[in-house]
């Protein structure tokens, strides 16, 4: 994932939502409608929203006592998990996003 950097935020290339402060925008992972073995999943499984996704944009962070920006621990491209009742969900086209504070992220998935 190629990043563009300006004095405001870090964004995935071509992404047009700019979070402020410690806010982040996460693209929700899509629920697979068919298993690897070809079994079609029922609607009760595929209609659930996953609390997992990829960070698409991060704000520039808050200012510390000296007036300097404190960078966020999560970055664009990180795969993250968050709790069920976190953030604000939005849909743009076929993609679902969750806008939340960095502190709402429970873990960064590595590997």
Q: What is the pLDDT of residue 1?
A: 46
**For residue range 40-89, what is the model confidence (pLDDT) as tens digits?**
766 666 556 789 999 999 998 988 898 888 889 999 999 999 998 899 99
Q: What is the pLDDT of residue 22?
A: 94
Q: 19: which 2 tokens? A: 């979070």
Among candidate residues 107, 98, 105, the one with its CA nearest the CA of residue 19: 98
Number of Cβ atoms within 10 Å of the Cβ of 105? 21
Stated pTM of the model: 0.78
> Is the pLDDT assigned to residue 105 strictly greater than 90?
yes
**Partners of 54 in the beta sheet?**
27, 79
CA distance 108 to 78: 7
**Contact status, residue 54 vs residue 78, Cβ threshold 8 Å:** yes
Q: Which residue has the tokens 């709402």?
A: 104
């Amino acid at each position: 994932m190629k990043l563009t950097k300006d004095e405001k935020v870090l964004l995935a290339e071509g992404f047009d939502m700019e979070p402020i402060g410690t806010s982040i925008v996460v693209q929700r992972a899509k629920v697979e409608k068919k298993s690897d073995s070809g079994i079609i999943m029922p609607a009760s499984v595929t209609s659930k929203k996953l609390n997992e996704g990829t960070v698409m944009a991060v704000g520039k962070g808050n200012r510390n006592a000296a007036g300097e920006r404190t960078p966020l621990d999560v970055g664009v491209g990180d795969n993250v998990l968050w709790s069920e009742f976190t953030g604000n969900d939005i849909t743009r086209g076929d993609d679902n996003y969750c806008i939340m504070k960095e502190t709402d992220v429970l873990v960064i998935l590595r590997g």
